[in-house]
Amino acid sequence: MSNQTDQAFLESALSFFPHLSSAEKNLLLQNTAAVSYKKGSSIHRADYKCLGLLLVKSGSLRVYIMSEDGKEITLYRIYPGELCILSASCVLSSITFDVYIDAVEDSQVLQVSSSVISLLMHDNIYVEAFANRAAAERFSDVMWAMQQILFMSFDRRLAIFLLDESASLGTDRLTLTHEQIAKLMGSAREVVTRMLKYFSQEGYVALSRGSVTLLDKKALRKLADTQP
């Protein structure tokens, strides 16, 4: 890696960096690449080559699981400044499951090769602690998603989803089809359509082809805060 900005970004994101020897630092920097992914492209899945650690510079990634009949459940998303450890699960003995990772938008990431992560983890306890801490943090994200999916009523989940998307994109008009919302929420299109129709009748949202506009965020927030 030759870019000074990328290098500074990498050093600040990887808290184990000060604990590396000079040789280890060089090895890490020489085996980190800046990579661009187009919106919607598949970055990682079980049958791809093991990628290594990803650090998001811009854009966002979605991490999900898929059933054998194609049903998807979103586990969490990864935003700029955050890192993805499950793309290096091949070198983490504690992680025995596999996930899919897609680019939600055009995204730029720094990729540290899995063989270097493996080597550093083996030789340097700070790298091992870092990698497992990063995994444990995502465990918390996944538990949140799991409780949402298993315990929460669907109207509440949809209200939270719409408010989160609106806040994250900074707009009240979400250009998403019902199919896309269903996929992102790990639900079925019919269920999303039915609930959006209800939200629209209540005046919470306005629906048009390929988009949902939030009209009454106060009402949606009230729904989102309701105890199930």
Which spans of this chain sit near a copy of itself (rule: CB under 8 A)? 65, 67-69, 71, 73, 92, 94-97, 125-126, 128-129, 132-133, 135-140, 142-144, 146-147, 149-151, 186, 227-228
Quote the CA–CA distance of 180 and 124 in Å, as a whole number. Answer: 42
Quote the CA–CA distance of 158 and 187 in Å, as a whole number. Answer: 10
* In the complex, minimum distance from the CB of residue 200 to a copy of itself, in angstroms, rounded to a whole number: 28
Toward a copy of itself, which CB reaches closer, 132 or 213?
132
Note whether 186 and 152 are within 8 A (CB).
Answer: no
Quote the CA–CA distance of 187 and 181 in Å, as a whole number. Answer: 8
Toward a copy of itself, which CB reaches closer, 132 or 193?
132
Toward a copy of itself, which CB reaches closer, 4 or 67?
67
- Give whole-number Cα distances, 84 to 136, 159, 188, 228, in Å: 12, 27, 27, 32
The 8-class DSSP code of residue 86 comes to G
* In the complex, minimum distance from the CB of residue 106 to a copy of itself, in angstroms, rounded to a whole number: 29
* In the complex, minimum distance from the CB of residue 46 to a copy of itself, in angstroms, rounded to a whole number: 13
* In the complex, minimum distance from the CB of residue 14 to a copy of itself, in angstroms, rounded to a whole number: 15
Toward a copy of itself, which CB reaches closer, 41 or 94?
94
Toward a copy of itself, which CB reaches closer, 48 or 151?
151
| Token pair recorded at residue 134 | 């990063």
* In the complex, minimum distance from the CB of residue 187 to a copy of itself, in angstroms, rounded to a whole number: 11
Q: Other C-beta atoms within 10 Å of 155: how many?
A: 18
Quote the CA–CA distance of 138 and 144 in Å, as a whole number. Answer: 10
